[in-house]
Amino acid sequence: MGSTESFNQPFEGSTTEPGKIALAFYSGLFSYSGWNYLNFVTEELKDPYKNLPRAIWISLPLVTIIYILANVAYFAVMTPVEMLASDAVAVTFADRTLGVMSWVMPVFVACSTFGALNGAIFTSSRLFFVGARHGHLPGFLATINIKLLTPLPSLLFGCITSLIMLSSSDIYALINYASFVETLFIGMSVSGLLILRITKPNLERPIKVSLFFPVFYLIVCVFLIITPLTSSPMECLMGLIMIATGIPVYMLGVMWKNKPQG
Residues 163 and 186 grouped into a single domain: no
List the one residue out of 205, 190, 156 whose CA is nearest residue 53. 205
Domain end call among 137, 167, 197 = 167
Which residues constitute the domain of residue 134?
100-167
- The CA distance from 251 to 138, in Å, is 9
- The CA distance from 116 to 114, in Å, is 6
Q: Are 37 and 120 in contact, with CB atoms under 8 Å apart?
A: yes
CA 194 to chain centre: 22
- Residue 230 confidence (pLDDT): 78
Residues 153 and 198 grouped into a single domain: no
- Residue 142 confidence (pLDDT): 87
Residues 154 and 176 grouped into a single domain: no
List the one residue out of 244, 116, 232, 87 whose CA is nearest residue 173. 232
pLDDT band with cut points at 50, 70 and 90 for residue 190: very high
Q: Which residues contact 43 (CB under 8 A, 6 or more apart)?
A: 126, 130
Residues 219 and 134 grouped into a single domain: no
More confident residue, 93 or 20: 93
- The CA distance from 227 to 244, in Å, is 21
pLDDT at 262 exceeding the cut of 80: no
Confidence (pTM): 0.76
The arithmetic mean of pLDDT across residues 67-80, rounded, is 88
Q: Are 209 and 215 in contact, with CB atoms under 8 Å apart?
A: no
- Residue 59 confidence (pLDDT): 86
Give the rounded percent of residues in the chain with a pLDDT score beyond 90. 11
pLDDT band with cut points at 50, 70 and 90 for residue 192: very high
**94-151 residue pLDDT tens:** 998 988 898 999 999 899 888 888 888 888 888 888 888 888 888 888 888 889 888 8
Residues 214 and 261 grouped into a single domain: yes
CA 221 to chain centre: 13
**40-63 residue pLDDT tens:** 888 888 888 888 888 888 888 998
- Residue 188 confidence (pLDDT): 93
Phi, psi of 44 (to 5 degrees): -90, -10
Domain end call among 115, 137, 167 = 167
- Residue 107 confidence (pLDDT): 93
The arithmetic mean of pLDDT across residues 237-255, rounded, is 86
pLDDT band with cut points at 50, 70 and 90 for residue 216: very high
Beta-carbon-side half-sphere exposure of residue 253 (alpha carbons within 13 Å): 17
Say if 142 falls within a structural domain.
Answer: yes
Residues 113 and 148 grouped into a single domain: yes
- Residue 187 confidence (pLDDT): 92
- Residue 49 confidence (pLDDT): 84
Total number of domains in the chain:
2
Say if 196 falls within a structural domain.
Answer: yes
- Residue 104 confidence (pLDDT): 93
- Name the H helices within 103-232: 104-133, 152-165, 171-199, 212-226, 228-231
Q: Are 127 and 40 in contact, with CB atoms under 8 Å apart?
A: yes
Q: Which residues contact 127 (CB under 8 A, 6 or more apart)?
A: 40
Q: Are 195 and 139 in contact, with CB atoms under 8 Å apart?
A: no
pLDDT at 172 exceeding the cut of 90: no
pLDDT at 69 exceeding the cut of 90: yes
Residues 193 and 112 grouped into a single domain: no
